[in-house]
Amino acid sequence: MKILITAGCPESERYPDILLSPLLLGFRKEISISLGQLSALTPNENQIDVVDEYYFGDIDFSKQYDLVAISSITPHAIRNYEIADEFRKRGATVALGGYHPSALPEEAKKHADSVVIGEAELTWPQLLKDFENGKIKSLYHQLEPIDPNIIPPLKRNFEKGFYCTGVQATRGCQNRCRFCSVHNVEGSHIRKRPIDNVIKEIKEIKSNSFFFADASLTGDAEYSKELFNGIKDLHKHFECFGNINDLEDDELVSSSKLAGCISWWIGFESISQESLDNVGKKTNIVKNYSKIIKKIRNQGIAVKGLFVFGFDYDMPDIFNKTLNAIFEWKIDDAAFLILTPCPGTPLFKQLENEGRLLTRDWSKYNFGNVVFEPKNMSTDELWNRTRSIAKEFFSFSNITKRIMNNPNRNLYTFSNNIISNFLVGRYINKRDYGF
Ligand code: SF4
């Protein structure tokens, strides 16, 4: 059976810069983990093509496939529907899965022969069997969370030098942030894969660097410490996501450092405690940010922050206050996002009920557009000021200052920091929306 496993991506959303990206990715051509997962779950006797449009993959519509599997997040949904429609026109059977189809299966069904809701470890192999027997169902729904013991390692090597460097040790998150869509697919309890399985998988990654694709690697600190201790002799570098309150644990941070952590990506979201409380981000206590950031950086690990604007308690002074705080805390890298109510989240429901959603053009749900009516500022103000602080943060002089302040003097991490800062700065200047 000939199968295409793909994730479409609109042109404007593709990986920032084809010239600089080989430096950042270490001359690899990356494949995202959802495609690595689906490929690992597809029996070898099938002939599989894997194309990730986000990382420069080109879909060849003239190729004949029996089955096309498309994984979709919300901002890429429209592009993925185009791909689905085109392949169906050409006679292929199409299955849609991932975050967006899991949240809006009825919408996805209009573009697919089958929709897969939730995790794929059991549903995808079942769909393949049913398809072979000519009995594909229109819906596959994984109701129970998958047993983490049966999650196989990702497939990593693909044709034409494409490679997958993500690893997922845990799934799910026990926190209940009202804007977050992790629960839609991964559930609201943390599930941990056996540590030996994760270590074995990391050992098999050919590259010296990889990233943990876990929603948060601090949900169970004891598990993460054991994992970090288990990989410390592998001499690899990695980045991962964590919650700020959990990173107060010195042992957790130092064990991550010994294991090769070069940076923690932290969802600070806001420096307004009222905004955080209102969206249920209970893990974040703003008055503790400064001392925890300092502790992490003192261990030689970079702190990279995710900041979101447009919460109902955000007043117009939130932008300057945030930028000043970030400079004071010496944050090493950051992403500035506009609050986006992804379908399936409590926030989406709330804004829909309040009649505050401005569009259902999913391509605008990319954290760089204003898709709802903000409370304390105009849509233009939210957009312009998010973009303007992003530009300021990534100005040449501020990037230079950050690079000189980099807490990690190792040559690899130093150059990684330079490239990622300049790459994002360049991306922002090219993009026509805030970031
Ligand atoms: S802590 Fe992070 S992953 Fe967990 S619900 Fe909140 S935003 Fe989502």
The atom of ligand 1 lying closest to the CA of 179 is: 7
Q: Kindly give the pairing relationship between strand 302-309 and strand 333-338.
A: parallel
pLDDT digits (tens, 9 = 90+) for 185-225: 998 999 999 999 999 999 999 888 899 999 999 999 999 99
* 170 within ligand 1 shell (Cβ under 6 A): no
Q: How confident is the model at residue 182 (pLDDT cuts 50, 70, 90)?
A: very high
* Residue 160 pLDDT: 79
Mean pLDDT value across residues 63-92 = 98
Domain at 2-141, CATH from 3.30.70.140, 3.20.20.70, 3.40.50.2300, 3.40.50.1370? 3.40.50.2300
The predicted structure's pLDDT at residue 251 = 97
Q: Does ligand 1 have an atom closer than 6 angstroms to the CB of 173? A: yes
11 vs 408: CA distance, rounded Å: 35
Q: For the chain, give the number of residues.
A: 435
pLDDT range class, residue 434, cuts 50, 70, 90: very low
pLDDT at residue number 435? 47
User: Is 97 near ligand 1, meaning CB less than 6 Å away?
Assistant: no
State yes or no: pLDDT of 371 exceeds 70.
Answer: yes
For residue 135, how far is its CA from the centre of ligand 1 (angstroms)? Answer: 38
Q: Could you tell me the sign of the dihedral formed by the alpha carbons of 273, 216, 28, 413, in that order?
A: positive
pLDDT beyond 80 at 404: yes
Q: What is the mean pLDDT of residues 312-340?
A: 96
Among all chains, which residue has been given the structure tokens 């169970």?
220
Query: Is residue 58 classed as helix, strand or coil in its secondary structure?
Result: coil
Question: How far away, in angstroms, is 184 Cα from ligand 1 center?
Answer: 12
283 lines ligand 1 (CB under 6 A): yes
| DSSP per position, 294-333 | HHHHHTT-EEEEEEEE--TT--TTHHHHHHHHHHHHT-SE
Judged by DSSP in three states, 238 sits in strand
* Cα angle 213, 173, 70; round to 5: 50
User: How many whole angstroms separate alpha carbon 290 and alpha carbon 423?
Assistant: 27
In sign, the C-alpha dihedral spanning 155, 156, 161, 166 is positive
Write the DSSP assignment of 158-179 as a string of letters: -GGGEE--EE-SEE--S---TT
Q: What DSSP character marks residue 5?
A: E
pLDDT in the model for residue 405: 83
Say if ligand 1 is within 6 A of residue 344 CB. Answer: no
Q: Kindly list the distances between the CA atom of residue 85 and the CA atoms of 14, 42, 53, 67, in Å, as whole numbers in the listed order.
A: 21, 23, 17, 13
φ, ψ of residue 170 in degrees (nearest 5)? -130, 160
Rounded distance between C-alpha atoms, residue 139 and residue 116, angstroms? 6
Tell me what pLDDT residue 157 has.
86
Instruction: Give the pLDDT of residue 168.
Output: 97
Note the pLDDT of residue 56.
72
User: Whole-angstrom Cα distance, residue 372 to residue 340?
Assistant: 8
59 falls in which pLDDT band (50, 70, 90)?
Answer: very high
Residue 15: pLDDT above 80? no
Mean pLDDT of all residues belonging to the chain: 92
Mind listing the pLDDT tens digit for each residue in 132-181? 999 999 999 999 999 999 999 999 988 877 888 899 999 999 999 999 99
User: Any idea which of 20-24, 60-64, 235-239, 291-295 has the lowest mean pLDDT?
Assistant: 20-24
Percent over 70 (pLDDT), the chain: 91
For residues 214 and 232, what is the distance between their CA atoms, to the nearest angstrom?
19
The Cα–Cα gap between 243 and 281 comes to: 10
Q: Which conformational region is residue 118 in: left (phi greater than 0), alpha (psi within -120 to 50 degrees), or beta?
A: left
Mean pLDDT across 301-320? 96
Residue 354's contacts (CB-CB under 8 Å, 6 or more residues apart) are: none
The atom number, within ligand 1, closest to the CA of 269 reads: 7
Q: What is the CA radius of gyration of the chain?
A: 21
Angstrom distance (rounded) from CA 299 to CA 355: 47
Give the CA angle between residues 158, 25, 32 to the nearest 5°: 45
Q: pLDDT tens, 203-213? A: 999 888 899 99
Confidence (pLDDT) at 9: 94
- pLDDT for residue 218: 96
Element (H, E) at 71: strand 67-71
pLDDT band at 19 (very low <50, low <70, confident <90, very high): very low
Binding site membership of 262 for ligand 1 (Cβ less than 6 Å)? no
Question: By three-state DSSP, how is residue 43 classified?
Answer: coil
